[in-house]
Amino acid sequence: MNSFVLYGGLALVLLLAGVYVAISLRGGSRLQRRLFTLFFLLSFLPVVVVLLLNWQMSQRNLGFLDSPGLRSSLESSLNLARRTLDREREVAGETGQRVAQRIADGERPLPAPPDGGSYRCWVGGEAHLRGTGASELLEAMAPPDPNALGTPIRLELTGEDYLVATAAAHGPEGEVLLHLATPLAADLAADLRAVTQGSSRYRQLRLFYGELLRGDTLITLTGLGVVLLATSILLSRYFARRIAGPLSKLTQGTALVAAGDLDHRVRVRAVDELGDLVDAFNRMTGELKRSKDELVRAERVAAWQGIARRLAHEIKNPLTPIDLAMHRIRRKVDDGTVHECVDTVLEETRNLKRLADEFSFFARLPAPKKERTELRELVSSVAELYTERTHVEVVWEGWPEEMWVHVDPGQMRQVFGNLVKNAAEAMRGRGRVTLTLGEREGGIVVRVADGGPGLTARPEQLFEPYFTTKESGTGLGLAVARKIVEDHGGSLHAYAPAEGGAVFEVGLPAAGKE
């Protein structure tokens, strides 16, 4: 009956495991189903082989453990060990009695303990200790009872075995009580332990295998086989999903990226090489998106440069004759009202010329002429220029005494001049501009932070040509600054920190790392 219940329960477990796997794989990919079949076959065959070998080896082991020769050998070894230990105890007891009698007979000084031994005796109620080998052990023991002296006991102290004998004797000074600790020979102690442990293990193994093989051996092994089989099914499903799942997600992600969705990322848990593959795919998609954004930005800048070139040409053409005509009118007409109107036209003409010059500079930004430059001195001169007549305080953080870089000094003054000027204007000429120097891989980072109202547009929008938040701005300052920094192999970004204000971050290669 028990066997029937066990077999029925195990069969039910296996059936449920199979149904669970079949349902879970129904919606999976073909790769998942194929991997499951492969893993299951690879795990099923070793299970059968292991069970057969286990049965054979169990029968052999039981026959070996039940052999009369092995049992008699172990019993003989155990009896020999017992007799050896009994002789040692008898010798220890006799030695202890002799030492106690010598002390009771009045031998002074107290006799020396046996070789390697120690003893503690009580004479007239006063304790005496001779020898140091087992002093801690002896000092922890109370005086023996003279009416209940027993067989020497075996004790262990700091990895060494001792036989402790008790003895009592009567003499002229009264009764003498004694504990004598005699060390067992190291090889003898090791042999005794080995024989005792071997006998104990033999009895345990014989009892275990006897119950296992003579009882319900076949049922136990069958149950083990079913459990292993169910485990192999579940593990096969698990590994099939762990491998095929990320691959399926990668296939779907590749199709989406190929369709133009560069914001797509594969969100799946994977480890080892699969995890590296997923990370590499996501990094590749990110690089593609950044490359596309840079390409679009480069195309936009190129288009704006073409527009700027045409605008500069169209603006400059009429400016010269207008300027000459206004000066001629001013010379020939002696009228204050006319002079005032002429001055207004000339002022606006100069503004238009300045605007045309900015367009021309943006359209034909020259290649940087790099030279070894001390950056702090350069930035300091620019900061003083744009803050000397304001209530703006410049704070330096993280700067060494010297910081050398390879840059075009003129173009870099234009970059930092634009950033410091914008920061001062954002704070309406009153506040603090913090210039922080940091490091990054292969270069340095200069952060220009202000305490103004923060960014009034998206960070990337600030660098688009002709985008400005100022009433009188042309929208070219930050665009030109970014182009200069990128021509130097660096980067220029903006962000709004949580504590307020705005930060513009200029990344530059270190000297010698261009």
> Length of the chain in residues, anyone?
514
In this predicted structure, what is the pLDDT of residue 508? Answer: 94
448, with CB counted inside 10 A (0-12, 13-18, 19+), is: buried
User: Is residue 327 a contact partner of residue 382, using CB atoms and an 8 Å limit?
Assistant: no
Position 3 scores a pLDDT of: 44
**Torsion angle (degrees, nearest 10) of CA 482, 488, 491, 497:** -80
Calculate mean pLDDT across residues 241-256.
Answer: 73
Tell me what the mean pLDDT of segment 407-414 comes to: 90
- Unique residue bearing structure tokens 């700091």: 158
Alpha carbons 449 and 496: distance in angstroms, whole number:
9
DSSP track, 332-379? H---HHHHHHHHHHHHHHHHHHHHHHHHHHHHTPPPP--EEEEHHHHH
Which tokens belong to 441? Answer: 């891989």
Indicate the pTM of the whole model: 0.43
Return the axis-axis angle of helices 186-214 and 30-65, rounded to nearest 10°.
120
The 3-state DSSP class for residue 455 equals coil
Angle in degrees, 0-180, between the axes of helices 375-387 and 409-426, rounded to the nearest 10: 40
- Res 420: pLDDT: 94
Mean pLDDT of 395-415: 92
Q: Convert the pLDDT of each residue in 364-382 to its tens digit.
A: 667 888 999 999 999 999 9
Q: Is the peptide bond before 459 cis (omega within 30 degrees of 0)?
A: no
Q: Is residue 287 very low, low, confident or very high in pLDDT (cuts 50, 70, 90)? A: confident
**CB 506 within 8 Å of CB 415:** yes
- Per-residue H/E/C for 241-297: HHHHHHHHHHHHHHHHHHCCCCCCCCCCCCCHHHHHHHHHHHHHHHHHHHHHHHHHH
Report which of 132, 141, 224 is spatially closest to residue 178, judged by C-alpha positions: 141
For 327-365, write each residue's pLDDT tens digit: 888 787 777 787 788 788 777 777 677 666 666 666 666
Q: What's the mean pLDDT in 268-287?
A: 73
Give the long-range contacts of residues 205-210, CB within 8 A, separation 24 or more.
205/65, 206/65, 206/66, 209/58, 209/61, 209/62, 209/65, 210/62, 210/65
Higher pLDDT, 437 or 462: 437
Q: Which pLDDT value is given to residue 5?
A: 47
Instruction: Please state which of the ranges 18-32, 78-92, 238-252 shows the lowest mean pLDDT.
Output: 18-32
pLDDT, position 392: 93
- Contact between 430 and 502 under an 8 Å Cβ cutoff? The reply is no
For residue 132, the 8-state DSSP code is S
**Tokens representing 377?**
């001195």
The CA distance from 211 to 222, in Å, is 16
From residue 197, alpha-carbon distances to 192, 200, 332, 435 in Å are 9, 5, 129, 77
Please write the tens of the pLDDT for every residue from 117-147. Answer: 888 898 887 888 888 778 777 888 888 888 8
Q: Calculate ∠ Cα 274-285-482, nearest 5°.
A: 140
Enumerate the domain spans of the chain.
262-364, 371-509
Burial of 256 (0-12, 13-18, 19+ CB in 10 A): middle
* CA atoms within 13 Å, Cβ hemisphere of 450: 23
Residue 4 belongs to what H/E stretch? Answer: helix 2-26
Structure tokens at 336: 């204050």
Determine which helix (DSSP H) or strand (DSSP E) holds 394, and give its type and residue range: strand 391-397
Specify the DSSP element, H or E, that contains 441.
none
Per-residue confidence (pLDDT) for residue 196, from 0 to 100: 76
Beta pairing class for 430-440 and 391-397? parallel
Q: Find the range with the poorest average confidence among 253-267, 295-309, 399-413, 416-430.
A: 295-309
Comparing 19-23, 461-465, 476-480, 491-495, which segment has the lowest mean pLDDT? 19-23
**pLDDT tens digits along 148-195:** 787 888 777 666 788 888 889 888 878 888 888 888 776 777 777 777
Q: Is 371-509 CATH 3.30.565.10?
A: yes
Q: What number is the average pLDDT over the span 286-295?
A: 76
pLDDT at 321: 78
For the chain, give the longest Cα–Cα distance. Answer: 155
Q: Would you say the C-alpha torsion 313, 314, 315, 321 has a positive or negative sign?
A: positive
State CA 28 to chain mean position distance: 33
With beta carbons less than 8 A apart as the criterion, state whether 405 and 508 touch. Answer: yes
